[in-house]
Amino acid sequence: MPLPDKLPAYRDLPVVEVFGRSYRSAWGVFGAEDELGTWNTVTPERARAAAGLVRSGHRFALDLPLDEPDPPLFHFRHAYRHVIEECSAGLNISYDDHLDGFFPQTSTQWDGLRHVCTPTHFYNGRPQSEVLAPGNTTIGVQKLVEHGLVTRGVLLDVEQHLSAQGKTIAYDGAPFEISADDLVQTARAQGVEIRPGDVLLFRTGFLSWFRSAPRPVREALAHNLQTPGLEPGAATAEYLWDLHIAAIASDTVAIERWPVDPPRGFLHFQLITFFGMTLGEMWWLDDLARDCRADGRWDFMLVSVPLHVPGGVGSPANAIAIR
């Protein structure tokens, strides 16, 4: 389906009630059969324009090594076992390898549109019974691969901006909340405009802190996860939808503050299920931020190639920023 000439504002989206809370729903905005959600905003013209942002040719891998974070930060995701095997009939000249117990969302990742749902439906009103039926690949991550994730990326260094204001982000205490206004003010301070079809990246410094923390500190956090992230609630949801971005990603564990505050809502639920917006988590942004800071340019060409897994729930991001 072609991109609508004008996407509705957040205030014009219909209200639905789930879990005793009101949410704004974008189901049907991109068509009744849509499986891409907000990635529809990346048109061929916007992908082509992103290529024009490449000037220095500097390239930055935004994925952690697959064996990080160490230890894994959710109890239901585990470290894989890397096995190398001889595959040349005893001649010792050829080897293959495989990963046992590999969880695609343990490290730098995309949360796809199968990651979160209502008690009965996934994004765009797809019934659970349909999406989870054996052999069904509806709204799987393969749709992202087929679309081609190539667009303009914008980095907001929230940690740097707040630090300049005399504020310190807490990484292992009570969850630190980043408001929509914090994002607005960071963009203003950096002199960068966020445009429709962009991938918005925001840096908190959390991964840098976590990777350098002593093992006992990392293990304690893995068992009692409290991390910075976006403030829950309608103000954040309205800001992100009205930008008409393709996706959002950060160096945090869950994009939003963790643990969630149920009375104030669950941003995953609003963004993934009702907006159709994939979330990038645990992206390594420090090297990119240093390069952006050096020349004052905060936008770049972003390329991401998720694993082509039919019906996949999530995937390593395999993301590169090219400047």
Closest by CA to 248, choosing from 107, 36, 39, is: 39
Q: What's this model's pTM, rounded to 2 decimal places?
A: 0.94
Contact 111, 278 (CB under 8 A): yes
Distance CA 136, CA 148 (A): 21
93 in a domain, yes or no? no
Provide the domain limits for residue 260: 11-77+104-322
Tallying the residues shown for the chain, one arrives at: 323
Say which CATH number the domain at 72 has: 3.50.30.50
DSSP conformation class of 64: P
95 in a domain, yes or no? no
DSSP letters for 121-172: EEGGGEEHHHHTSTT--TT-THHHHHH-EEEEEEEEEHHHHHHHTT----SS
* E strands present in the chain: 15-18, 21-24, 59-61, 81-86, 95-100, 109-111, 121-122, 126-127, 149-157, 177-178, 199-203, 229-230, 247-250, 279-281, 299-304, 314-316, 319-322
Look at the chain and report how many structural domains it folds into. 1
51 in a domain, yes or no? yes
Q: For every one of its 323 residues, what pLDDT tens digit does the chain have, with 9 covering 90 and above? A: 566 668 999 999 999 988 888 899 999 999 999 999 999 999 999 999 999 999 999 999 999 999 999 999 887 888 889 998 888 766 778 888 889 989 999 999 999 999 999 999 999 999 999 999 999 999 999 999 999 999 999 999 999 999 999 999 989 878 899 999 999 999 999 999 999 999 999 999 999 999 999 999 999 988 888 999 999 999 999 999 999 999 999 999 999 999 988 888 889 999 999 999 999 999 999 999 999 999 999 999 999 999 999 999 999 999 999 99
Strand order across the beta sheet in which 314-316 lies: 59-61, 319-322, 299-304, 149-157, 199-203, 247-250, 279-281, 109-111, 314-316
Distance CA 270, CA 256 (A): 11
99 in a domain, yes or no? no
266 in a domain, yes or no? yes
Distance CA 118, CA 128 (A): 9
Encode 145-154: b = buried (16+ Cβ within 10 Å), e = exposed.
Answer: beeebbbbbb
Burial class for 222, CB neighbours closer than 10 Å (0-12, 13-18, 19+): middle
315 in a domain, yes or no? yes
* E strands present in 164-312: 177-178, 199-203, 229-230, 247-250, 279-281, 299-304
Distance CA 297, CA 33 (A): 38
142 in a domain, yes or no? yes
Closest by CA to 267, choosing from 132, 111, 36, 41, is: 111
Burial class for 38, CB neighbours closer than 10 Å (0-12, 13-18, 19+): buried
239 in a domain, yes or no? yes
